[in-house]
Structure 1
Amino acid sequence: MQKLTAVILDYASLKPATLDVSVMDSMDVNFVLHEHTSADEVVARIRDAHIVLTNKVQLTVDVLKQARQCRYVGVLATGTNNVDVKWCENNGITVKNVSNYGSAAVAQHALMLMLNLVTSFSAYHSDVRQGRWSESFQFCLSHHPVSLLEGKHAVLVGSGAIGMKVAKLLQGFGAKVTFAARQNADNDSRPDLDTLLPTADIVSLHCPLTPSTQQLMNARRLGLMKSSAFLINTARGELIEETALLAALKQKRLAGAGLDVLSAEPPPPDHPLIQTNLPNLLITPHSAWVANEARQTLFDTAMSHLNAFVKAD
């Protein structure tokens, strides 16, 4: 019996040289590895594949229709918004993602962004590098604002594995944590986001991107937040109306923002949030998930899911 062919479209995103990937050698699958795949290369690469594995490469209906032998799509991530899951379900293609592999890593990253913002870490670090501490007339610098997480009210949007870990970390610092109700959920008794925003010192996003959460933090909701509040996003860039966020930061209607995701990834060089040089805007390059331990768990789980599918096929 001919082996099934599995195409990995963006293998380099896993940084495989730092992982143990030996399990692939023992599987009854012929793996075809592509470091990167551009949009105009996808169809040709999956046309004859039985299995398609993707991290962030888009698999739209038009693309999937060309993969006539495909029976399995493995998403090398938690979010499945880059795959037309409904079309796959209707056409006998199994879609399997990997949940919870990076919960600790992303929660740690979210807290890192919060701590950097409340302590003005970036500004003080810059001062030291530029010699301002050496030039000081006293033993310390204290001209940038610093506050505590203790006693702050953190509003979390999303109460999955990541949200729960962030809540635990914040509570360890003595912060009060409130989870907002899910968008458009009639059976959720928790307070809605609009009600919570005026009292929030920190708003941290940990929800999936869906039609109801697209640009969740828009100009209106940003306007409900205190000028001393911080916004954190380690989920999906499209959860925030970016032009509205930039305006709020420039006009000092928001104290700061920490983002690990943007609406376009990688962002174009002229992306407004990349171009600005605001000290209260911290941006990391979608790196919250890249801890070695998290990536190994992701890979191992994805291979386990695939092996189970192959053996059951």
Structure 2
Amino acid sequence: MQKIVFLDRDTVAPHIHVRRPKFDHEWIEYDRTPAELAAERLKDATIAINNKVPLRRETLEALPNLRLIAIAATGYDCVDIAACRDLGIAVCNIRGYAINTVPEHAFSLILALRRSILAYREDVKRGEWNKADQFCFFNHPIRDLAGSNLVIMGEGSIGQSVAAIGRAFGMNIMFAAHKGSTGLGPLYTPWDEALAQADVISIHCPLMPSTEWMIGMAEFRQMSRHPIIVNTARGRLVVEEDLATALREGLIAGAGFDVTDGEPPAPDSPLMKLLDQPNFILTPHIAWASDEAQQTLVDQMIDNIENFMRDAPSNIVA
């Protein structure tokens, strides 16, 4: 009988139904698991379900019965993939579940920032409308999306869905070429050109050595149209201190982030210090988390486990 251990069930909302696999098994789940308890909790497990618990070589080497790690997410940087390959542990992830929820969240941030929704809401709360002596007032910029340049960093399924929404708004779509790369074909706008022409930048890249810290002060100074920048991908793609400087110096018109370098962020982190800015929005890594997307995720996760057990593995990354 298989022993399945879900290390961090709290990373999926409690009202989302996680069905049980259709084979004999023992199911154990923990709300959350500190990294130092992972080996103990996975003792004798043959299948681990994991979202964000770090599983490094030292831990994996202590788990001789482990056959599969089912990642309850698309990103799998929390798992030592090289060690899994060496130890014969398969790893599978989730794909395609977020093609609606993340783009919709990204555009919620884009719209709110381009039209200064939060800033005007705060003004109304403070009584500015009552003091205006007319039907409206103009404390903050309001810009249309139609006719503006949307630069998308990341050309996968989510980036393509963002592009489709942008086209519906009448935006000019550009996929930024990978930083430092040339000759990628007609789909891409060269990196420097994309930065210079952007009115809106939406980031949808994976986190890997070639993308870590890919946007810093040098890139912000190239953004001659003072765009808004939205990140619903990973926190370590943008240098947070530089983002704060760029926002305060007016190099960019606004920023909306759903991710940070370290989650939850420390109270004194650069992005937390921006929360008093009217043109900055920070949400708690929930772009992926519509009910529909979460249900699709867990259903696919169980499908991956069942497929592995019938020797037809799916979404294998190691």
Deviation beyond 6 Å, 4+ runs, structure 1: none
Deviation at 1:48, TM superposition (A): 2.1
Corresponding residue for residue 92 of structure 1: 88
Matched residue of 2:202: which SS?
Answer: strand
TM-score where L is the length of structure 2: 0.93
Aligned to 1:19: 16
Q: Please name the residue that 1:294 is paired with.
A: 293
Cα 1:155/1:26, change in 2 over 3 Å: same
- With over 3 angstroms needed to count, the CA separation of the structure-2 counterparts of 1:108 and 1:143, relative to structure 1, is same
1:117, distance to aligned residue in structure 2 (A):
0.5
Per-residue deviation, 1:184:
5.3
Q: Which string of whole-angstrom CA distances, capped at 9 and with x for unpartnered residues, describes residues 36-60 of structure 1?
A: 1112222211232111111111112
Deviations, residues 240-282 of structure 1 (Å, cap 9, x unaligned): 0111111111111111111000011111122121023221111
Matched position secondary structure for 1:272: coil
Instruction: Output the amino acid matched with 2:37.
Output: E
* Separation in 2, partners of 1:27, 1:174: 50
State the 1:227 CA deviation.
5.4
Q: CA deviation at 1:171?
A: 0.7
Residue of structure 2 equivalent to 1:39: 35
Preserved CA contact (<8 Å) 1:201 1:226: no
Is residue 184–residue 212 contact of structure 1 (8 Å, CA) maintained in 2? Answer: no
The equivalent residue for 1:246 is: 244
* Match status 1:237 vs 2:235: yes
Say which SS state the counterpart of residue 229 (structure 2) adopts.
strand
Q: Is the 8 A contact 1:201 1:229 kept in 2?
A: yes
- SS in structure 1 opposite 2:20? helix
SS at match of 1:279: coil
Shift of residue 143, structure 1, vs aligned partner: 1.6
Alignment of 1:105 with 2:101, yes or no, is: yes
Asked if 1:181 is matched to 2:177, the reply is yes
Listed as ranges, the gaps of 5+ residues in structure 2 are 313-318
**Amino acid corresponding to residue 42 of structure 2 in structure 1:** I
> Quick one: percent identity of the two aligned structures?
36
- Once the two structures are superposed, the pairs formed by residues 278-289 of structure 1 within 5 Å of their partners are 278-289=277-288
**Preserved CA contact (<8 Å) 2:61 2:87:** no
CA contact (8 A) 2:198 2:225 kept: no
What amino acid does structure 2 have at the position aligned with 1:245? Answer: L
Query: Residue 209 of structure 2 aligns with which residue?
Result: 211
Deviation at residue 6 of structure 1 after TM alignment: 1.1
Structure-1 residue corresponding to 2:265: 267
* TM score, norm. by length of structure 1: 0.94
Q: Give the equivalent residue in structure 2 for 1:114.
A: 110
Residue 53 (structure 2) aligns with: 57
